[in-house]
Amino acid sequence: MLSLYALPEIDNARIDREVNFYLRNPEYLSRVQQRAEPYLFFILNEIEAKNIPGELALLPVIESAFRPDAESPAQASGLWQFIPPTGRLYGLEQNSWYDGRRDIIESTKAATTFLKQLSEEFNNDWLLALASYNAGKGNIKHAIDKNLSRGEPTDYWSLDLNSETAAYVPRLLAVAKIFANPDKYHVNLHQIPNAPYFELVDVKSQIDLGKAAELAQTPLDDFLKLNPGFNRWSTAPDGPHRLLVPVEKADTFKEKLAELSHHERIKWEHHTVGNKESLQSIAKSHHTSIEQIKEVNHLDEDAVAKGETLLIPMSYKSIKGHEEPAVAIN
């Protein structure tokens, strides 16, 4: 990663303040390194392919603490913390089954594209590009115009920014500096192999994620960290149908998948319609939608009869005890 570093070395009190914060929290640095291991090789490949600074591979440390299921109060989601409209702008599909903002591959491609475009908007000034990734390019352009009107410098360090954006770039530069100089800062680096962690496998149709984890001989929690884009307990009916599988398990996974019959691919709940129940109440209790229940059961109308049995695809919330999504820690 260090060979891809390209941002200038800067001495600035704001960076020093962030360095000191991280050095006071070595357990945090250790945690984010461990969380980064499944993703870092792929992220670095994307960064190298787009010819952008290697330090940007560390941006998820700042954005999400490398938690792929991180969500912010502003509805930003995933490693790269895309808000819904920006995600859609960069081709990240979002529906009740799937959220591309949490898809490791799609979100990384989108984030690196977005960052590269921002750098071009600001004449290859990466600090302004990073600031605009955090605050929005309109806000950064406004701050630049404000300084221009006063005859003041328009570099990142001279702009009047909100406190979050004022700390955002120094925070990334601080993390990059620490990882570049672990001996100087007495920080233990987690050795992440310079090799692919996962393989992309097209499973070609909908599959239960618990069953897929079983086929991959991988603990479910670890499997979901590679495939956090799915909102329910299976891949989406209309796709995507590709899964990330630990590279050393990929061949076994593909062999076992080929032996799996179609009806064993999906886990369903059976719900018998009770007295005074409606599709709306059933959908709410199972954390799904009326449309999904109708689609799965080939219903043309919203009315259901007492005693009728419905098939309902299981959701994360119903499986995991209604857990709330993880919140990003900066």
Q: Which residues are catalytic?
A: 63
The CA–CA distances, whole Å, from 55 to 66, 95, 217, 224, 232 equal 14, 32, 34, 26, 34
Are 159 and 140 spatial neighbours (Cβ–Cβ below 8 Å)?
A: yes
Q: Quote the CA–CA distance of 242 and 202 in Å, as a whole number.
A: 4
- Who's near 308: CB < 8 A, 6+ residues apart? 272, 273
- Who's near 276: CB < 8 A, 6+ residues apart? none
Which candidate, 167, 178, 192, 172, places its Cα nearest to that of 24?
178
Q: Quote the CA–CA distance of 250 and 202 in Å, as a whole number.
A: 11
Report the Cα–Cα distance between both ends of the chain, in Å, rounded.
22
- Who's near 226: CB < 8 A, 6+ residues apart? 38, 104, 198, 243, 244, 245, 246
The CA–CA distances, whole Å, from 237 to 95, 227, 231, 301, 317 equal 12, 16, 12, 21, 18
